[in-house]
Amino acid sequence: MNNHLENPTQFFNSLNGSLSGGQIVHSKTCIADMAGYYHNESARSSLDQAKIVYRVAAHFAEKPGTTGGLFFGISTVFPGLVGQEYFMTKGHFHAIRNRSEYYWCIQGEGVLIFMDEDGNCYAEKLQQGSLHYIPRKVAHRLANTGNEPLVVGACWPSDAGHDYTTITQLGFSIRLLNIDGQPQLQKVR
Ligand code: PA5
Ligand code: NI
């Protein structure tokens, strides 16, 4: 037995959601990367293409694709609009469809939009401390409806993968729009 106590190598700041330490991968998604995701493509193409829509920091303790492991990530969606549509993540199904996920809201305000494989959508409000279960076979997208960054934690199976193609082809059947200053869901098909 090794009776030496190891120091932790990763840290999660529960106040602002920041992750630090080893095996943390940071990524950012800009307006330029969101071509084809917003309802109003001409509004998207007229914005500053370098503007960051969201960032993700994730702890990958396993090789992606490994069965039986977990990943842990923090997504930060910045406030903003593309036309009337709130800044949001691309949204995805898991590549292995029967993989589920937890999201929880650390900071900010927003909406989590779900869509099943038949295109049926529903949505839940995100507020500090709220916990959200994403069932298997359900696509998921975050949208920031506030004036502050929306910070959301996530934990998902390391073999789940991300399928964005189905979303670029089909889109979500509901959109979250800012109508007269208020978030409103609109059916688009
Ligand atoms: O695994 C998840 O569901 C999250 O970590 C998302 O990947 C993250 O919120 C970014 O969203 P998307 O992958 O839809 O661009
Ligand atoms: Ni996911």
Rounded to two decimals, what is the model's pTM? Answer: 0.97
Q: Give the residue, out of 89, 100, 132, 151, with the most ligand 1 atoms within 8 A of its beta carbon, to mutate for a pocket test.
A: 89
Ligand nearest to the CA of 138: 2
Assess contact for 140 and 111: CB atoms under 8 A: no
CB of residue 57 inside a 6 A radius of ligand 1 = no
Q: Tell me, what DSSP letter sits at residue 85?
A: E
Mean pLDDT of 125-144: 98
In tens, the pLDDT along 153-180 reads 999 999 999 999 999 999 999 999 999 9
Q: Which among 25, 34, 56, 62 is the best mutation to test ligand 1's pocket, defined by most ligand atoms within 8 Å of the CB?
A: 56
On average, the pLDDT of the chain sits at: 97
The mean pLDDT of 134-143, rounded to a whole number, is 98
How many C-beta atoms surround the C-beta of residue 83 within 10 A?
Answer: 16
Nearest ligand 1 atom, CA 142: 9
Q: Label residue 67 by pLDDT band (50, 70, 90).
A: very high
| Predicted confidence (pLDDT) at residue 103 exceeds the cutoff of 90 | yes
